[in-house]
Homo-oligomer: A and B are copies of this chain.
Amino acid sequence: MSQIQRLGVTRRWSDAVIHNGTAYFVEVPGNVEQDARGQIAETLQLVDERLTQIGSDRTQLLQVTIYLRDLNDAPILNELWDAWVPFGHAPARACVQATLGNPAMRVEMVLTAACVQ
């Protein structure tokens, strides 16, 4: 059985799971009382913190699926995203609309990144 490393393990999920040089993680905004811009900006910041925590960084993202509560927020997402992704290192990306667990939550990101274990 290959070795699995888990960070931030709770009863329900782990903040990140690393296996075979690949990290799997999900990020949502901590403060859902912010508007869409605030929530998306915070989520990207949390992605940064997670990547640092696992010894990775923005240039190592492989695939990102972004769920937006309302696709009308897509222009805000794209503005913040485009400024955030390091030029030449963009991951594969899908963005779809979906109702999220917390009705006040505007964004949820499911991410895969390369990392050293």
A residues apposed to B, CB below 8 Å: 1-2, 4, 6, 9-17, 19-22, 24-26, 56, 59-60, 62-63, 65, 67, 71, 74, 78, 81-82, 85, 87-101, 108, 110, 112, 114-116
CB-based contact A92/B13 at 8 Å: yes
CB-based contact B96/A9 at 8 Å: no
Please state the number of chain copies in the assembly. 3
CB-based contact B60/A1 at 8 Å: yes
Among A21, A56, A90, max chain B CB count under 10 A is at A90
Task: Give the 9 A-B CB pairs with smallest separation, nearest first.
Answer: A97-B99, A13-B93, A24-B63, A96-B98, A24-B92, A26-B94, A14-B90, A13-B90, A94-B110
